Chains A and B, each alone.
Chain A
């Protein structure tokens, strides 16, 4: 049985918020089947805020609002999450001003925050300011019986990285999701060696949760819904009996199962992205089990942005998506099917979720 938390139970006092009490973030609940619930814990996930400087102290209002709302509501969560993950792309163009402003907006969080690096944070100074002020680029830790890993999955080869006239030219090219001058993301050999060494210390029965910015699977190369060495990374995770990969970058709900590895995306607080299949000129490898959300309607400023709480049921996750302008969704690990399943929208034939 998959047990999920109701939004009402999680967001104690959310009605105090004028804006409807829905969170632009993710709460992850890890439950390990103990009848008493002993050992269960939760963490929240906020991602892809794309804080964008206009000039001086002026920033794009819409993106600011998405992040502010997530932070305000995360502080109301009940039960309290053990920590908050930020899933990358805090900035739009990697500027110190954007990262600083993003950190300012995150600072009211009353929890420990851990960070994943996104390409929008990286390609101006290759993550120097990030490493200095915010977080390591890749690291791991143990928490209540779960091994957590953060990878930097958005690097590309050195020839591409070094070929640009200026750092800002490089940043602008990589910031254009559909810019044909971009390059496919990868984790890279150095990090894969680190990952292998890190995993060598972990018992194979320990639940492993990996955070990356790009999907550690290949979905759509045009928009870098893609990690070039995904198969190599998956091979390192394969010996473990319960693995979950949670990634940002795609600004939409996706889920998949490859062997014992469950994949889940998290929503952006900034803006939604279309599903790859809406680009009529290229084929998409969107996992067939993923039931897409309805296409975005810009009439609603927060449409198709949102948050999710993820219940890792006996080491497998159930993500509950709570979306400010959309119906909530729950994508949970199904013990019978051995894969994630959308509990309410398990088929594509429901009119609001037909995508074209």
Chain B
């Protein structure tokens, strides 16, 4: 309780650095979020070039330099392999299972988040076009 009060007093003394409202955020917040995002991009690049992601040493970047020819902006779309409309992560698992001869990742696996972050980052600036082939 004492700590909480102390924190509240600090907050009152320096409102510019610790916003109390949900609709307020600072430059420091933006920098932090950017840093976190770029860390996720870097982590994704690491997974994308990790020979241990599959079982045969083949890496994603071998066929997809700079994450190209994945076109994340075109998902969800019909994938012939799946016989239906799927989001990008399902297609990523197809690649892990087939060219990489590996085990698929859970959709909430942190590596799956990271791969998608990297792929999407490399395609930034391209407009969304779901369903396009």
Query: Which A positions have Cβ atoms within 8 angstroms of B?
Result: 52-54, 60-62, 176-178, 222-223, 271-274, 278-281, 295-299, 356
- Whether B80 and A299, one on each chain, are in contact in the complex, defined by CB atoms closer than 8 angstroms, is yes
Q: Which residue of B lies closest to A175 (CB)?
A: B62
- Whether B125 and A280, one on each chain, are in contact in the complex, defined by CB atoms closer than 8 angstroms, is yes
- Whether B65 and A223, one on each chain, are in contact in the complex, defined by CB atoms closer than 8 angstroms, is yes
Query: Could you list some 5 contacts between A and B, CB below 8 A?
Result: A53-B57, A176-B61, A273-B63, A279-B122, A299-B80
- Whether B66 and A178, one on each chain, are in contact in the complex, defined by CB atoms closer than 8 angstroms, is yes
Q: A52-B58, A280-B126 are in contact. List 11 more A-B contacts (CB 8 A).
A: A52-B57, A61-B101, A176-B49, A177-B62, A272-B63, A273-B63, A274-B65, A295-B71, A296-B69, A298-B94, A299-B81
Which residues of A sit under 8 angstroms from B61, Cβ to Cβ? 176-178
Category for how many chain B residues contact A? 20 to 34
- Whether B65 and A298, one on each chain, are in contact in the complex, defined by CB atoms closer than 8 angstroms, is no
* Cα A222 to Cα B98 with chains together (Å): 27
- Whether A222 and B57, one on each chain, are in contact in the complex, defined by CB atoms closer than 8 angstroms, is no
- Whether B66 and A281, one on each chain, are in contact in the complex, defined by CB atoms closer than 8 angstroms, is yes
Q: Which of B35-74 contact A (CB under 8 A)?
A: 49, 55-58, 61-66, 68-69, 71
Which residues of B sit under 8 angstroms from A53, Cβ to Cβ? 57
Q: How far is the CB of A87 from chain B (nearest CB, A)?
A: 18
B95 an interface residue at 8 Å Cβ cutoff?
yes
B104 an interface residue at 8 Å Cβ cutoff?
no
- Whether B66 and A298, one on each chain, are in contact in the complex, defined by CB atoms closer than 8 angstroms, is no
Q: How far is the CB of A173 from chain B (nearest CB, A)?
A: 11
B2 an interface residue at 8 Å Cβ cutoff?
no
* Cα A11 to Cα B80 with chains together (Å): 31
Which residues of A sit under 8 angstroms from B94, Cβ to Cβ? 298
Which residues of A sit under 8 angstroms from B71, Cβ to Cβ? 278, 295, 356
B111 an interface residue at 8 Å Cβ cutoff?
no
Which residues of B sit under 8 angstroms from A280, Cβ to Cβ? 122-126
B76 an interface residue at 8 Å Cβ cutoff?
no
Which residues of A sit under 8 angstroms from B66, Cβ to Cβ? 178, 222-223, 279, 281
The 8 A CB mask of B78-96 against A (1 = contact, 0 = none) is 0111000000000000110
* Cα A310 to Cα B94 with chains together (Å): 36
B99 an interface residue at 8 Å Cβ cutoff?
yes
Which residues of A sit under 8 angstroms from B58, Cβ to Cβ? 52, 60
The 8 A CB mask of B91-129 against A (1 = contact, 0 = none) is 000110011010000000000000000000011111000
- Whether B65 and A178, one on each chain, are in contact in the complex, defined by CB atoms closer than 8 angstroms, is yes
